[in-house]
Amino acid sequence: MTGRTATARRAIGGLYLCCAGLNAGLVLADPEVYREFAASSYLPFVRSGWDEVVMAHPTAWILLLSLGEVVIGSLLLSSSGRAIRVGWTAVIAFQALLMLVGFGFWLWSIPALALVVPLARHDVRRFREVSPG
């Protein structure tokens, strides 16, 4: 499974890089495209925070999000065990936080977490065996 885990990690890293480009391109083409993104959140502070903070300067905030996705993708594509551990942690946190935006995102995030959590555990365990500490 080690080879398959590394392949999956590279695919997920590549997906984050592609999503970074997609999000950056969308917000640069039309900053209002993300206006309704958090409208279906079940948490009032997420809805109001999105409207009052993110949509006050959507280009800047979505470009920062895209930069974060570039960092996550780059960490997963790294050859450093420490960077990969941080990358997996960021992927898990990203997916968990995405669930705050609305129940519709649970349809993506729950299967994504069901896939990445075991992959991350296996990958991190492999790097600990290779280089403890």
Residue 115 has pLDDT above 90, yes or no: yes
* C-alpha closest to that of 117 among 9, 2, 3: 9
More confident call, 80 vs 74: 74
Give domain limits for the chain.
2-128
How much is the average pLDDT of 95-106? 95
Mean pLDDT of 57-76: 98
Task: List CB contacts of 100: < 8 A, sequence separation 6 or more.
Answer: 41, 43, 46
Secondary element (H or E) of residue 76: helix 58-77
CB atoms within 10 A of CB 98: 15
In the predicted structure, residue 109 carries a pLDDT above the cut 50: yes
Distance CA 8, CA 31 (A): 32
Q: Is the pTM of this model over 0.85?
A: yes
